[in-house]
Amino acid sequence: VDHCTAESADPALTLLHRVFGFRGFRGQQGEIVRHVSDGGDALVLMPTGGGKSLCYQLPALLRPGVAIVVSPLIALMQDQVRALSQAGVRAASLNSTCGLEELRTIEQDMRRGELDLVYMAPERLMTPRMQELLQQVPIALFAIDEAHCVSQWGHDFRPEYLQLSVLHERFPRVPRIALTATADARTRQEIVRRLGLDEARQFLSSFDRPNIRYRVTPRRNARDQLWRFLETEHPGDAGIVYCLSRRKVDDMAEWLNSKGRPALPYHAGLDAATRQRNQQRFIEEEGLIVVATIAFGMGIDKPDVRFVAHLDLPRSMEAYYQETGRAGRDGLPATAWMTYGLQDVITLRQMLDSSEAGEAHKRVERHRLEAMLAFCEHTACRRQSLLGYFGEDLPEPCGNCDTCLEPVETWDATEAARKALSAVYRTGQMFGVAHLVDVLRGRETDRVRQFGHHRLSVFGLGADMEAGQWRTLFRQLVALGLVEVDLDGYGGLRLAERCRPVLRGEQPLHLRRDPAPARARRKRAVP
């Protein structure tokens, strides 16, 4: 009888423990490691923070030869190499900052079999010099990190990744593992096709983060709302507040400090030393808030971030998922909270339309923004909507998002939408929401008189609804793409092609009713 201990029975587990100090595998890690160690190709789809690195690092140690890791970002390579070296693994990275001397040393180490992993950018890997070297040394595997960079459909497209398709032909016996955190079905297919991974086994992990509670709330007064959220739900907790502009970041951080919540700013306008210091403090101290633009968070691994708050709408669902995903890495309850309003939609649309990007790229980005807006206005389970976007089907509502906890009221907005749309049309498709609401509510302002809008048939047609309700409706019409925001920078609205059936009354419209504003709790008078 073989009296092996569990440890010695599985060399992968032994290494996992000895080198990385972990007791067990997470999710599908174990299976992936075994598959690749046995020489199989793999496509790994795992959310950020899921533990992708081990999936190639362990096979790299288990197989003879050097593992070649392709990565697009120098900073990420250097982090990885540093961490591996600390764990006693022989790793190096080759990038454009390497001098000739360093390059020679690393090449020599590879020849002598003295390296377990070498990280490099794809263009380095494809140089004739590197290709020749690789023909002469045993290779453990090729790992292609951030594999979605090969997809032209995606937002991170890197042309150099396309050349990686030849690895398969040149090194048919070397297993390849492609890894990514962003891949809808379409991108996945593109990765498979472009990298010749038809035979690869696909390991698709769930993107669900069940301990994160998703909440989206219409904006009234962002500061008040944020403050109430922080004080009632996360007093003393560490968290991240995201804003779009540097100025807003600075203002918010200052304001939080003045209210007694320690907060640090983080954005690309601060010098590197300050950024580094603020990031370090956030990681080491307890209960700090970082107010940041999206520049914050890459490579942050703080397990006890209890909340992520968005004061501005993220550009896409991908961004939203990544940013909210920094909450609750420890598995304990955490909140992803966001306020959003019409101005977000207008700002983002305008930023997009005025950007230098090509038409095809803009179309993709517009599509992404639309998905983000649809998520905000979604009337059913947020988690189902979020996961659905990534091609994952959550069979039951989650019970841990705002719409599950407090089902939203919907109402038949068909008639009101027709009135709103005709107000846009009758006033000449050039006015912003404030004026349109005045017209609908029948307010004879100077502006209304100046343009003679009090003589229009729609004037006063919407007196039965409050101004706030009309503003909500306009936000939703824009979010649904029925109304477009003008490019002139003044937020004028015009009709989109899509609104015709609604305008003609052929398409009913059911929308979410914004929750009533939480009333400030009145203190009971003490006699």
Taking CB under 6 A as the binding criterion, the range among 46-54, 243-251, 368-376, 470-478 that sits at the site for ligand ADP is: 46-54
Q: State which residue, 147 or 398, has the beta carbon closest to Zn ion.
A: 398
CB of 378 to Zn ion, least distance (A): 10
Of 38, 254, 301, 415, which one interacts with ligand ADP (CB under 6 A)? Answer: 301
The item of Zn ion, ligand ADP, none sharing an interface with residue 381, based on CB under 5 to 8 Å by kind, is Zn ion
Q: State which residue, 55 or 485, has the beta carbon closest to ligand ADP.
A: 55
User: If you ran DSSP here, which 8-state letter would residue 401 be given?
Assistant: B
Tell me the C-alpha distance between 62 and 274, whole Å.
Answer: 41
Tell me the C-alpha distance between 12 and 16, whole Å.
Answer: 6
DSSP for 367-388 reads HHHHHHHHHHH--S-HHHHHHH
Q: Are the beta carbons of 68 and 144 closer than 8 angstroms?
A: no
Letter for the amino acid at 30?
G
The item of ligand ADP, Zn ion, none sharing an interface with residue 472, based on CB under 5 to 8 Å by kind, is none
CB of 209 to Zn ion, least distance (A): 12
Of 22, 157, 255, 425, which one interacts with ligand ADP (CB under 6 A)? Answer: 22
The item of Zn ion, ligand ADP, none sharing an interface with residue 45, based on CB under 5 to 8 Å by kind, is none
Q: State which residue, 406 or 415, has the beta carbon closest to Zn ion.
A: 406
Q: Are the beta carbons of 148 and 48 closer than 8 angstroms?
A: no
Paired sense of beta strands 410-412 and 510-512, if any:
antiparallel
Site residues (CB under 6 A) for ligand ADP, limited to 54-73: 54
What the block records as the tokens of 275 is 């950024």
Taking CB under 6 A as the binding criterion, the range among 44-52, 193-201, 274-282, 382-390 that sits at the site for ligand ADP is: 44-52
Q: State which residue, 53 or 400, has the beta carbon closest to ligand ADP.
A: 53
Q: Is 50 in the site for ligand ADP (CB under 6 A)?
A: yes
Q: Which of 64, 76, 120 shows the shortest CA–CA distance to 94?
A: 120
Of 15, 35, 52, 148, which one interacts with ligand ADP (CB under 6 A)? Answer: 52
DSSP, collapsed to helix, strand or coil, labels residue 308 as: strand
CB of 168 to ligand ADP, least distance (A): 24
CB of 397 to Zn ion, least distance (A): 5
CB of 234 to Zn ion, least distance (A): 20
Counting residues that bind ligand ADP (by CB under 6 A) gives 13
Q: Are the beta carbons of 56 and 116 closer than 8 angstroms?
A: no
Q: Are the beta carbons of 47 and 387 closer than 8 angstroms?
A: no
CB of 310 to ligand ADP, least distance (A): 21
Tell me the C-alpha distance between 199 and 175, whole Å.
Answer: 11
Residue ranges binding Zn ion (CB under 5 A): 381, 383, 397-398, 401, 404
Q: State which residue, 118 or 439, has the beta carbon closest to ligand ADP.
A: 118
Continuous H helices in 44-137: 53-62, 74-86, 100-111, 122-125, 128-136
For residue 82, how many other CB atoms are within 10 A of its CB?
12
CB of 381 to Zn ion, least distance (A): 3
Q: State which residue, 25 or 161, has the beta carbon closest to ligand ADP.
A: 25
Q: Is 187 in the site for ligand ADP (CB under 6 A)?
A: no
Q: State which residue, 76 or 467, has the beta carbon closest to ligand ADP.
A: 76
CB of 465 to ligand ADP, least distance (A): 47
Tell me the C-alpha distance between 222 and 244, whole Å.
Answer: 13
Continuous H helices in 391-499: 402-405, 414-426, 433-441, 446-450, 467-479
The item of Zn ion, ligand ADP, none sharing an interface with residue 22, based on CB under 5 to 8 Å by kind, is ligand ADP
Q: Are the beta carbons of 252 and 225 closer than 8 angstroms?
A: no
CB of 49 to ligand ADP, least distance (A): 5
**344 exposed, middle or buried (CB, 10 Å; 0-12, 13-18, 19+)?**
buried
Q: State which residue, 17 or 186, has the beta carbon closest to ligand ADP.
A: 17
Report the first-to-last Cα separation within the chain, whole angstroms: 84
Which chain residues interact with ligand ADP by CB under 6 A? 22, 25-26, 29, 46, 48-54, 301
